[in-house]
Structure 1
Amino acid sequence: MTILKWMGGAMLAALILYGLNQYGLEPLREQIKSLGVFAPLGIALLRGVSIILPILPSTAYLLLAGTLLGFKTGVATVVIADLLFCQAAFFIARSYGRKPVKKLIGEQAMERVESFNKNQLEDNLFMMTGLLMTGLFDFVSYAIGLSGTPWRRFAPALILSVVISDPPLVALGAGILEGGKVILGFAILGIFGLAITRLITQRSQKSAID
């Protein structure tokens, strides 16, 4: 599954680069803008499908949003998508249980989901938030739903994680191609902070399992 996600991400990146090389950034953006509300909606739906079906790459859509929509619109698009679809994954797991979730996402993805249930996430807001800030947030959303965690405890962790983790990667997509030093600097600092948070969370997760 990890290989499939990386392949999917690489293919998406290749398509973006092909489009940029073939048409140039500004003409491509103009074509995207001509779609109006359907451009952000399309990226939001792609991002959402990658959350509900974790075999698809999701991080690439953050870069895509920044590249094609710009920083502000890109952030708004992916934040809304993440809040909606992560909650959808949570409620699917909470409402229907393990068997339907396993049929939906597959056996290998279910094994990853089950691995998070060993951490008793419902009792650890810090770890819940930290794991939702990693690239495995889709699996974590299912796991938290299966754990019986109340929505009122899941929602604040989700909001905090999305607000912190989405902007740096969108900024990276926007900053590199726009040449915006401030945006790019923010992106690098944000990604560095996310890396530290992920390291701390992984250590906490390992301690919880032990």
Structure 2
Amino acid sequence: MKTLRWVLIGVLIALAIWLLNKFGIEQVREQVERFGIWAPAILFGLRFTSIILPVLPGTAYAILAGGVFGFVQGLLVVALADLLSCTFNFYIARRYGRGLVERFVGQQFMEKVDRLAQRHLEGNFFLMTGFLMTGLFDFAAYAVGLTQTRWQSYFIALIASILIAKPLWVAAGAGIFEGSQLFLGFALLGAFGIGIVTAVVQRRTQD
């Protein structure tokens, strides 16, 4: 299933690039604009769903948001979707427990949630924030809800992770679609930093 997740991400990114090459970014944006106010709402819904159901790829939607809506609006859509969906994940885990979480993530991925929940996240704010910054953030949101972490601590960690990590993917999309060296440079620099954080927290997961 992990392989399938990355295959789906690759397919969505390839589709976005294909649309860009075939129609051009301006025509793609014109098609999106035909949805009017519903365009950001549709992308918001796709991103929101991909976090609640972690088997669906969400990274491609963040990149697409930057390319179609630009950095500022794209980041707003992604950040709001992540804030609400991760809050929902935490609430579901805290209110209804492991049984309902397993229905959302599936039995195959529940082991990953359990492993994250056992990392003593409630006692280490920076480790919790680190997990929420990585590609495991959707699972981490469920996992933290299964611990004794206070809601206030989780919310602060979630806000911090969104402010630090989410601009990376949106900037990558804006850079790719707009040919901006500045955005691409920012995305590459951010990817290096996130890569270090991911390596550290994954090592903690395996310990």
TM class by smaller structure: over 0.9
Counterpart of 1:190 in structure 2 is 190
Counterpart of 2:137 in structure 1 is 137
Counterpart of 1:55 in structure 2 is 55
TM-score (norm 1): 0.94
**What is the number of residues matched between the two proteins?**
207
1:126 and 1:78 map into 2 onto residues whose CA distance is: 23
1:3 and 1:202 map into 2 onto residues whose CA distance is: 18
Q: Which moved more, 1:114-123 or 1:33-42?
A: 33-42
TM-score (norm 2): 0.95
User: Any idea what SS the aligned residue of 1:14 has?
Assistant: helix
**Structure 2 unaligned regions, length at least 5:** none
1:30 and 1:67 map into 2 onto residues whose CA distance is: 13
User: Any idea what SS the aligned residue of 1:175 has?
Assistant: helix
The Cα RMSD (Å) is: 1.3
Q: Which moved more, 1:30-39 or 1:53-62?
A: 30-39
Kept in 1, the 8 Å contact 2:83–2:159? The answer is: yes
**Structure 1 unaligned regions, length at least 5:** none
Kept in 2, the 8 Å contact 1:127–1:205? The answer is: no
Kept in 1, the 8 Å contact 2:119–2:204? The answer is: no
Counterpart of 1:112 in structure 2 is 112
User: Any idea what SS the aligned residue of 1:176 has?
Assistant: helix
Kept in 1, the 8 Å contact 2:48–2:82? The answer is: yes
Task: Summarize the Cα distance change of 1:202–1:104 in structure 2 as closer, same or farther, 3 Å threshold.
Answer: closer
1:184 and 1:155 map into 2 onto residues whose CA distance is: 29
User: Any idea what SS the aligned residue of 1:116 has?
Assistant: helix
2:167 and 2:17 map into 1 onto residues whose CA distance is: 21
Counterpart of 1:14 in structure 2 is 14
Counterpart of 2:162 in structure 1 is 162
1:91 and 1:34 map into 2 onto residues whose CA distance is: 35
| Shift in Å, 1:147 | 1.0
User: Any idea what SS the aligned residue of 1:183 has?
Assistant: helix
1:176 and 1:71 map into 2 onto residues whose CA distance is: 11
Counterpart code for 1:112: K
2:113 and 2:21 map into 1 onto residues whose CA distance is: 39
